[in-house]
Amino acid sequence: MKPNYRRCLSCRRVGLKEEFWRIIRVFPSGKVQLDQGMGRSAYICPQTTCLQAAQKKNRLGRSLHGIVPETLYQTLWQRLTESNPQNQI
Query: What is the structure's pLDDT at 50?
Result: 93
pLDDT at 40 over 60: yes
CA distance 46 to 62: 19
Q: What is the mean pLDDT of residues 17-41?
A: 90
Q: What is the mean pLDDT of residues 68-84?
A: 89
Confidence class of residue 36 from pLDDT cuts 50, 70 and 90?
confident
Confidence class of residue 75 from pLDDT cuts 50, 70 and 90?
very high
CA distance 1 to 49: 32
CA distance 58 to 46: 17
Q: What is the mean pLDDT of residues 51-55?
A: 92
CA distance 68 to 31: 9
Query: What is the structure's pLDDT at 4?
Result: 92
- Give which of 50, 49, 42, 48 is closest to 66, Cα–Cα: 42
